[in-house]
Structure formats: C-alpha cells, structure tokens
Amino acid sequence: MRQLEFLKRQILITHVSGIPVRMDFRWFFVLALMTWITGVNLSNSKLIDNFATCLIFGLLTTLVLFVSIFLHEYAHAAAARMEGVEVLEIVLHPFGGLARFRREPDTPRAEFRIAIAGPAASFLIAIAFVVAMAIANALELKIFVTLAFFLALWNFLLAVFNMFPGYPLDGGRVLRAYLWRRGTDLNEATILTGKFGKIIALALVVFGLIILLTAKDGFFTGFWTILVGIFLYDAAQGIIKQVNEFENLSVEEAMQLPVTVEPESNVLKFVDTVLPIHRRTVFLVAENKQFYGVLILEDLKKLPREDWQKTKIRNVMRPVAPEFFVEAEATLSEAKALMRENGIGSLGVLNSRGELVGFLQRGRLRKRN
C-alpha cells in the first residue's frame, strides 16, 4: 500500500508564468511504456534499423506528446487568469493533465471560455503537426512524417475526447456553462454533467473490454481504455460526492459578506459609487444591520434618468418579505429552494438576532475559506 501511495506522490518540475507544474511518479511508467511502444512501431516500420535509435526517437516523441498535454492545460490556465480566476497549479498525470483553480468562475461565459481553451489549443497543435508532416514529406524525411502524423493524430483525438459532454472533461464543463447560462444552479449542473461523465466512463470500460477480448494485438489499447474509463469514473464520482457534501453545508458556511445600500441614499449615488464596483443584479437594502428590502437593477430600468437624484432607494426597493431572507443556521439546499421560488435568485442572511450578516446568490455559491 505504501508503494502505491509513493507512486501517487507529486514532484515539482518547473514554474511557467508563475504557475507550479507538477507530475506524479506514475508518469515515469507511462513515459517508459510510450517510449517502448513508439520505438517498437518505428522498428517494425523498417524506417530505422537500429533499435536503440528507435527508442531515442520514441523517447523524444513521448516528451513532445506530454508537452502538448501541458500546452492543453496551460491554455485553460491562461484563460482562467484572463477571467480573474487564480491558478493554483498544473498537474501532469498518467491519463493527461489537470489545471487546478482556487475557485469556480464567476459567470457561465467565463466557465465556457476556460473550458473551451484546452480543446482549442489541442486542435491548433494538431494543425501545427499536420503542417510539420507536410514539410517533412516534401523534404522526404519519412521518419519525421510518421512521428508528426502520430502527434497530430494524438492531439486531435485529445481535443475530440475532451469535448465529450461529461464532467470533468472539458465538454462537460462546456455543457455545465450552458446549463448555468440557462438558469440551472451551478452545483446542480455539476452533478448532472458528472453523471454524464460516469456514463461515458462506463462506456469506455465496456469498449475497452470488447477490444481486449476480440481484437488481435489489442491488449494495450483495450487495457489503456479501461484504465482511462476507471480514472474518469472515479473523478466524476468524486466531484458528485463533493457537491453533495456542499449541499449539506449551513448557509453561514457558504454565504458572502453583504454589499448593502442605505434606504435613504438616492439612486444616482448608488449608480455612481456602488454599481461600478460590485457586479451584481440584486443588492440588499440595510442600515446598521437592519434589513429593509432588496434593490433589483431590473426595477431601476423603469425609473427615468432625470429622477435618479431625487429618488430614494426605499422608494424603488422591494420591501423585505419572508422569501427574501434565510436564517444562517439553515442548510444550503433549503436556501437554494427558496432562491428558486422568490424570483430574484438571491437571499439576505439573518442571524439569530435578526441582523443582516450575509448574502447568497444562485450560481455563486462556494464554501467560505
């Protein structure tokens, strides 16, 4: 058991743009295996007579392959940074890579852009290797034609496979962004796409077994497909479990600090000083922790601009009502049900003394650090 745990340990390779890049020790097994398989294929193709030379080319090709995987993950990281999401690290593991972020994106648009960046990078890399293959072919460098074709094909398949609509694959995140954009709660969308991920994983395991049992010389392909399916199933199951545990948190553990507007302030002051700083569609109206109501941007559209300075916030807010707040001790699942019903997708959070202490908004729920 300790030996297996050792293999899962990660080592730091380098930093790229300030992002730690790590890999676990299982990567060395894959490096050796892919080097051997590529070397054997080159030897069988009769392009190179010396087997040691075949292994050298196999090693270099495998290293380029993992650089391609890194670029796929770095594209996710770069997109995340553009969306204001902090990148913790990039991890290379035997079945690909993973870019880890400190938090979820703030909007469906940001989620989509981060998710699609990886497959887009892999498609571009595949095209680059097709161009390299054409150049090598024109120069009659047959060995490089073969290797460039392999790298182009692998990157193309990486992009296509990652677009399958199951979390944690990139396609699952794209689907999650779409569901989130359509109004589905982010956690609910994660669970749904996680279930799709489990279905895809089971299909891979079955497909791998079929290859293993029926295809001639298909042991490696079938065995590797089964391993990828098991890895994907475990990852999807893990994210579903994590979200379900999150659903049982108390509101106090997931709430944000409230951004409040005083009821006697005027609309012009709110538009000039509060709205440019805080990207929200719903604001809580309160003073000295006393909750008075909610201010909704959609309601302000009905107010002529020339009336902003003379109109008090209390005159355009929706007065406090039971559906606009929840107690801090309530569960997050109870709060989410209330947010679905109140028509604004947000809640104020009150403590046992009736004081306003927090804010919840659908799609932006996360555990407080």
Rounded Cα–Cα distance for residues 272 and 282 (Å): 16
Tens digits of pLDDT across the chain (369 residues): 444 444 457 788 889 999 999 887 778 888 888 888 888 888 887 777 788 888 998 899 989 999 999 999 999 999 999 998 889 999 887 777 888 888 788 789 999 999 999 999 999 999 999 999 999 999 988 888 989 999 999 999 999 999 999 988 999 999 999 998 888 878 888 999 999 999 999 999 999 999 888 877 777 778 888 888 998 998 899 889 888 877 777 888 888 888 899 999 999 999 988 888 887 888 999 999 999 999 998 888 888 989 999 999 999 999 998 999 999 888 887 888 888 788 888 899 999 888 999 998 876 666 665
Instruction: Let me know: does 148 contact 133? Beta carbons within 8 Å.
Output: yes
Spacing of C-alpha 106 from chain mean position: 12
The 10 Å Cβ neighbour count of residue 139 is: 10
Report the distance separating Cα 144 and Cα 70, nearest Å. Answer: 22
Handedness of CA 350, 356, 362, 366 (dihedral sign): negative
Among 115, 246, 104, residue whose Cα is nearest residue 169? 115
d(CA 298, CA 345) in angstroms, rounded, equals 13
Cα distances from 17 to residues 21, 64, 89, 116, 308, in angstroms, run: 10, 20, 11, 21, 46
Scanning 139-218, the segments in alpha helix (DSSP H) are 142-162, 170-181, 186-214
DSSP state of 263: T
Please report, for residues 132, 153, 233, 282, 323, the alpha-carbon distance to residue 343 in angstroms, rounded to integers and kept in the order given: 56, 49, 36, 11, 9
Nearest to 72 by CA among 186, 154, 1: 154
All CATH 3.10.580.10 domain ranges of the chain, comma separated, are: 251-361
- Token output for 30: 């894959």
| pLDDT at residue 2, rounded to an integer | 42
* CATH topology classification for 251-361: CBS-domain (3.10.580)
Both tokens assigned to 60: 């270099």
Is the separation of the CB atoms in 146 and 42 below 8 Å?
Answer: yes
